A and B are shown apart, each in its own frame.
Chain A
């Protein structure tokens, strides 16, 4: 019977009772309770079901290492599965449900698996469910999936918010137990900037539970004094409820602060992710007690001895009224003594060691506790809770023994330092034979940017398990970290505690030593994943001898606790099975996070509208007001078309195309890249960058240019204007602006660094508006101020001036085949100019048009589009753009590449127009097939469609494509299969469908 005592409970405030529900039933707890302590205080022993066999399970631990007591917490938009009850602070109105059972925690159909456990050993699923082949996906797997999984699925959008925070510290101390406090004090005394974090809501860790004196004070008082001292120090930042969960390269520490978990609501972010850059990281992360492997060690009521002591001292909860303690080391005697002094019954201490003479055992004996030497547990009685144990000789096979009635079992298999953070970045471990544990090897610390070790360990995380030893170690670590970061010498002395005499641990992994197979199949190693001693031994027998093989074959250590309680026991059992020393087996890799971290916290504030910035042109609001159907283009939003009334986007495109060809259209081209290239060597530079010759372009003129990468492929195109003697303005595609600017800088800085050239990406400095169509000139003339006649401003020239009072750069360029002007103004004037053009165009049938109309207009003219006709595998020669490749130049980026055999081949697919015989529109992405199949049985292909549209101008489908020997096959009819329809026949034609002479643009 687990009960709340009248006394003890240093962490709870009995003046603040709180009610909450668990599985729909109302419970009472106190401020300071965890969900686990409150439930245990009300005798709710069973808290969940295990993963595989659905065994009844209670809490086995009291902190972050808990594998069993996982619950679904909260409701609706605040529901969260797989929450550890042992680290969940209760609050009024908390709602929790146990997991992984149906129909209820007490009566779970899935527990039938337990009856067949002997037929469900480790890896059984690898050996069966193979016939018939389809049955795995349709029959077996759905069953396994439904019975696996733990928590329920959150169904509503997250009601909480999260945030990220940066922090820089010279020394970050992870863990706020006495070691962490001592390390932080020692580091702070050197004058450096210190950050101290503690995962729980309380400073001091285990020491106040375990007792002892530090610097002549009770441990608890020393903790208070130390916290006060650190809080007063200007160079120290302290945080509770914050776990440093991962150490990353070059001193990067990520921590997870649970800001609102204990007080849910809108007021604060729920979690905060800290991105900490620290010069040195001191891990004062303590040690975890190991369970012992005996038959029935998973029955609710069997608990780590230290956890049982925690519940008693911290929360005033007695897990049993009559307790059996089973141990292989001294520490568990503290639990026996604590129970005894709380007036509870300690039935016996079963100590696996043959002879026990340590002072703690002596104290237990003096308190009247029966200490049985050389004993272990042969079996636990009880199903849903402990009713007794069979005490047996550790040396024997567990066959005979003495039955001891009890309602709880406290077990201790020794302690393992928490080495996770030390190991994340490659810190190495060594096996400490005396204390039977892996501990950090200070000689092989994880190294940082400067090659020096940047993680230090403190206290029991170093393997210094005694109070005195741990404090001395922690003080030294804090001091060393501070000094390494340039801190001053400090005379601050290490905290002192009395030395404790102790008797060494007996490395006992299985209890009793000679237990037979039936017992070993009931000794749990990994509680959550239901991995037993017999499973690890089976893995070893089958050749899964590497510790990683064993882990993966048995799933040992792969549960949500990531093996905090099971890994060391498991690898010890494996080592025994392989008859090799434990260090020869080694550990599995420690990976972040130390405990699971919410994805919400990892994502941070960047959710919803803040997920990624949206780039908007100066005219964005106007588009929005005029019913733009938006298209994301990179980070930009561009109008795809402007919908009028009940129009579909396709209707709108047809209207916009026709109007632009007949009247005048307005396009917001502000997203086009605009890069200024300037300097004495700018012409020479552009000649290397473009396939054409830019150095000879006269001032005042424009020229179309192609850019390739060094591998020969076409990467961007655009019109280049020469602004003055040493200045060129390079237009790029919308998606290319940043990329091409970076490309230019890369070549300038890393190859031709002695060339005197400067570049500036002015894309966002200018708004650019295209006025397109036969009436474009009339619109501009209505604004007045510049001579926009053919004579004054011929095709492919530009001029600077004042148009309607706006300072503009006016380009006579066309991507539509129509008379067209592109007007650049400072971005701040973009909307005003647009408004003026819009007004001036009202009597001339002006309409705005979007990107799809832009595409159709250019496709009718056979103009290529980067990203459609090109895909990173196309060279200019494929596109019939030889005219844009200078024959006079020795070199340009991509020239050498284009002479390689495959690129120079005549067999490459080349650009043509495709005209369907029936006038239909070819589907996007279709291929042109050839006869037969290739050696791999695939249909032979001879080309593909790169752009395909309905042309409102020609009232039929038009397409461009790349076809083998295409330009030599004009008039030939090819076959284009469609998906789910008849193949399309199309004639190979010239890609220019409209105004082949180019008469309309040059007027």
Chain B
């Protein structure tokens, strides 16, 4: 892999950039791999990367039905934070956040991780208590967060209105090292690093069936032929139930649409990421100047990557209340992605009823921020056939035992 640097750009600039090599190879699949990851999104590619880097398993293929990074990795609002309430969530999201801190250097590609800080606004007394609880929990979990009052919120977000008639801003939970990153670049950087380790990233290759023998995985059938493996990681947000079905088991998952939108670009107006859970909206400003906005999910099963416009209306209405200047900006583009929601809204990193098959699914609306931590934990699970501490609590068995990881607790909803 030829390294990226300012020097390399200068050298290439002098010869019209004719010397750049491919970021990742595009091979045909081999007959057999030590491990196959299905899904070349951020989670799948990170899983493959850490299989190689942490566990020395490099005879790996990452199979992708479409183009790499084309699912939710390329459709989210790029927020990175780890101010979660429950121990297992805080652990894996903080692991992810800390890996984001040095991802550009580790992978030699600028993913533009920008720790600009994340505020979760408290707009009811219930939320105030919820976030104060989270701040206490985070302090014990080693996650740097802080409860801040309304005036500090205003200093950090000058365009905010504190005294809206409906939901005044009572304060917020502030994570100064939360922020954003360039979502596509995360997938590309992992793909490039995987490719450099000799792994095969095979795009436009759909899985059509999973072969098992004596309760263990034997091979996958794909549109590019049959490929044998003893370890199969399913990392396919939005298609998890379908793949599980091919392997003969069901998941506690329903797939729904989550929408996002961006405004036209303007000069810097808001440096931090703001989330307002009471009114179901969150917003940050991209480096290009667009206000990047996300809202809630539709409630019905949906695989169309389109959502209902009334949810966009609700999100925009709420944000215009909180940020009056938005009213005179314009929505430039809206889109949707399909997120997998589990029974407790927390992810699944688990062994499955089939030997050698592992599933990483159900990140719901939290997928992007968890990519490196999820990949790290998933790689350990696949390599050792047993979860490490990061993944331990996220097994499928929790639904049978009644041992849930419920993050809605602090979200200001009275469950």
Using CB atoms, name the residue of chain A closest to B270: A153
Name the B residues within 8 Å of A136 (CB-CB): 104, 110, 112-114
Given contacts A133-B104, A603-B313, contact A152 B334 (CB under 8 A): no
Q: A611 at the A/B interface (Cβ < 8 Å)?
A: yes
**Least Cβ–Cβ distance between A696 and chain B, in angstroms:** 29
Contact status A599-B389, CB under 8 Å: no
B110 A144 Cβ-Cβ under 8 A? no
Q: Is A867's CB within 8 Å of the partner chain B?
A: yes
Contacts A81-B329, A603-B320 known; A873 to B265 CB distance under 8 Å? no
B91 interface contact, C-beta 8 A:
yes
Neighbouring A residues of B101 by C-beta, 8 Å? 133
Q: Is A897 an interface residue (CB 8 A)?
A: yes
Q: Which residues of A contact B404 (CB under 8 A)?
A: 711, 873
Is A119 part of the binding interface, using a Cβ–Cβ cutoff of 8 Å? yes
A131-B105, A607-B321, A979-B147 are contacts. A602–B129 as well, Cβ < 8 Å? no
Check if A158 sits within 8 Å of B328, measured CB to CB.
yes
Q: Binding site of B, secondary structure by majority: helix, strand, loop or mixed?
A: mixed
A893 to chain B minimum Cβ distance, whole angstroms, is 15
Given A121-B13, A246-B309, A603-B313: A546 and B70 within 8 A (CB)?
A: yes
* CB contact between B287 and one of A124, A145, A929 (< 8 Å): that residue: A145
Complex contact B147–A128 (CB within 8 A): no
Q: Check if A606 sits within 8 Å of B20, measured CB to CB.
A: no
Chain B positions within 8 Å of A128 at CB level? 4-6, 9, 110
Given contacts A145-B287, A923-B132, A593 and B331 within 8 Å (CB-CB): yes
Interface flag for A755 (CB, 8 Å): no
Interface string of A978-989 (1 = CB under 8 A from B): 110000000000
Query: Within 8 Å CB of B31, what residues of A?
Result: none
In the complex, which residues 942-990 of chain A have their Cβ closer than 8 Å to any Cβ of chain B? 944, 977-979
- Inter-chain CA distance A254–B311, complex, in Å, is 13
A924 close to B (CB within 8 Å): yes
A144 touches B23 (CB 8 A): no
Partner of A867, one of B126, B133, B263: B126
CB neighbors of B among A532-580 (8 A): 534, 538, 541-546, 548-549, 552-553, 555, 558, 560, 562
Contact residues in B for A612 (Cβ distance below 8 Å)? 166
* Chain B residues with CB under 8 A of A546: 66-67, 70, 203
B63 at the interface (CB under 8 A from A): no
Question: Is B112 a contact of A938 with CB atoms below 8 Å?
Answer: no
Most chain B CB within 10 A, of A246, A543, A903, is at: A543
Question: How many angstroms from the CA of A66 to the CA of B409 in the assembled complex?
Answer: 48
Query: Which chain B residues numbered 280 to 329 have a C-beta less than 8 Å away from chain A?
Result: 285, 287-289, 304, 306, 308-309, 312-313, 316-321, 324-329
- Does A127 sit within 8 A of B, measured CB to CB? yes
Task: Say if the beta carbon of A19 comes within 8 Å of chain B.
Answer: no
A133 and B102 alpha carbons, distance in the complex (Å): 7
B129's contact among A606, A614, A924, by CB below 8 Å, is which? A924
A608 — which chain B residues lie within 8 A by C-beta? 165, 321
Interface residues of B in 313-370 (CB under 8 A from A): 313, 316-321, 324-335
**CB nearest neighbor in B for A733:** B414
The interface on chain A, measured as residues whose beta carbon lies within 8 A of the other chain's beta carbons, has a size of 121
The complex places the Cα of A119 from the Cα of B304 at a distance, in Å, of: 40
Tell me the bound Cα distance from A148 to B265 in angstroms.
8
A154 in contact with B328 (CB, 8 Å) = yes
Which of B228-236, B240-248, B395-403 interfaces with chain A? B395-403
B225 within 8 A of A: no
Bound CA–CA A908/B163 (angstroms): 41
- Tell me the bound Cα distance from A538 to B22 in angstroms: 10
Interface residues of chain A: helix, strand, loop or mixed (majority): loop
Assess whether A443 is interfacial by the CB under 8 Å rule: no
B185 located at the interface, meaning its Cβ lies under 8 Å from any Cβ of chain A in the complex: yes
In the bound complex, do residue B133 and residue A735 qualify as a contact, i.e. CB atoms below 8 Å apart? Answer: no
| Interface members, chain A 45-92 (any B CB < 8 Å) | 51, 78-82
- A252–B312 Cα distance when bound, in Å, is 14
* Contact present for A560 and B23 (CB under 8 Å): no
From A541, which residue of chain B is reached at the shortest CB distance? B20
A977 to B25, CA, bound (A): 52
Neighbour of B329 across the interface among A558, A599, A634, CB < 8 A: A599
Q: Which residues of A contact B327 (CB under 8 A)?
A: 154, 157-158, 598-600, 603, 607
Residues of B within 8 A of A119 (CB): 9-10, 13
For the complex, give the distance between the alpha carbons of A339 and B134 in Å.
70
B1 within 8 Å of A (CB atoms): no
Chain A interface: which of B46-54, B138-146, B216-224? Answer: B138-146
Q: Which of B9, B184, B309 contacts A252 (CB 8 A)?
A: B309
In the complex, which residues of chain A have a beta carbon less than 8 angstroms from the beta carbon of B335?
589, 591
Q: Is B375 an interface residue (CB 8 A)?
A: no
B196 within 8 A of A: no
Nearest CB on A from B229, distance (A): 25
Q: Is the CB of B414 within 8 A of A735?
A: yes
Contacting B at CB under 8 A, from A100-134, are 118-119, 121, 124-131, 133
Interchain nearest-CB distance for B118 vs A (Å): 14
Interface residue A425 (Cβ < 8 Å from any Cβ of B): yes
Given contacts A562-B332, A598-B330, A632-B124, contact A900 B401 (CB under 8 A): yes
The answer, among A545, A602, A632, A871, for a CB contact under 8 Å with B409, is A871
Tell me, rounded to whole Å, the shortest Cβ–Cβ distance linking A312 to chain B.
Answer: 30
Tell me if B321 and A127 are in contact (CB < 8 A): no
B34 part of interface (Cβ distance < 8 Å): no
Query: Contact between B265 and A151 (Cβ–Cβ < 8 Å)?
Result: yes
Write out the residue numbers on chain B whose beta carbons fall within 8 Å of the beta carbon of A935: 389, 392
User: Contact string, B134-178, partner A, CB cutoff 8 A, digits 1/0?
Assistant: 111101111000110000000000010000111100000000000
CA distance A599 to B21 in the complex (A): 43
The chain B residue sitting closest to A424, CB to CB, is: B306
Q: Within 8 Å of chain B (Cβ to Cβ): is A596? A: yes
- Asked if B116 is at the interface (CB within 8 A of a chain A CB), the reply is yes
Within 8 A of B (CB), among A602-649: 602-604, 606-609, 611-612, 614, 631-634, 640
Cβ-defined contact, B389 with A936, below 8 A: yes
Q: How far is the CA of A252 from the CA of B167 in the complex (A)?
A: 31
Q: Which of A505-536 contact B (CB under 8 A)?
A: 517-518, 521, 534
Tell whether B109 is near chain A: CB-to-CB under 8 Å. Answer: yes
From B114, B123, B320, residue with most partner A Cβ within 10 Å: B320
Please, how many angstroms separate the alpha-carbon atoms of A927 and B8 in the complex? 52
Cβ of A146 within 8 Å of any chain B Cβ, yes or no, is: yes
Is A494 engaged at the interface, CB distance under 8 Å to the other chain? no
Residue among A541, A868, A936 with the highest chain B CB neighbour number at 10 A: A936
Q: Is B384 interfacial (CB-CB < 8 Å)?
A: no
Please report the C-alpha to C-alpha distance between residue A867 and residue B130 in the assembled complex, in whole angstroms: 10
Q: Bound complex: CA of A844 vs CA of B312, how far in Å? A: 54
Q: Is the CB of B8 within 8 A of A127?
A: yes
Assess the B266–A81 pair: CB atoms within 8 A. yes
Point out the residues of chain B lying under 8 angstroms from A11, CB to CB.
none
Which residues from B are CB-within-8-Å of A934?
87, 389
Q: Determine if A927 and B140 form an interchain contact, defined as CB atoms under 8 angstroms apart.
A: yes
- B87 surroundings in chain A (CB, below 8 A): 934, 936, 938, 941
Decide: A602 and B203 in contact? CB cutoff 8 A.
no
In the complex the two chains form, is B140's CB within 8 Å of A600's CB? no
Q: Is the CB of A600 within 8 A of B23?
A: no
Q: Is the CB of A611 within 8 A of B166?
A: yes
- Residues of the B chain whose Cβ atoms lie less than 8 Å from the Cβ of A491: none
Question: CB-CB contacts of B176-198 with A at 8 A, as 1s and 0s?
Answer: 00010010110011000000000
What 20 new A-B contacts, CB under 8 Å, besides A153-B325, A598-B328? A82-B266, A128-B4, A141-B114, A145-B289, A149-B268, A154-B327, A158-B324, A254-B309, A275-B309, A541-B20, A543-B25, A593-B334, A599-B329, A902-B401, A925-B130, A934-B389, A939-B141, A941-B140, A977-B136, A978-B136
Would you mind naming 16 contact pairs between A and B with Cβ atoms under 8 Å apart? A126-B185, A130-B105, A130-B110, A133-B104, A141-B112, A150-B289, A248-B306, A248-B309, A558-B288, A602-B312, A926-B133, A934-B389, A938-B90, A939-B141, A944-B136, A979-B135
Top 7 A-B pairs, shortest CB-CB distance: A149-B289, A925-B133, A872-B415, A935-B389, A596-B330, A900-B402, A517-B16
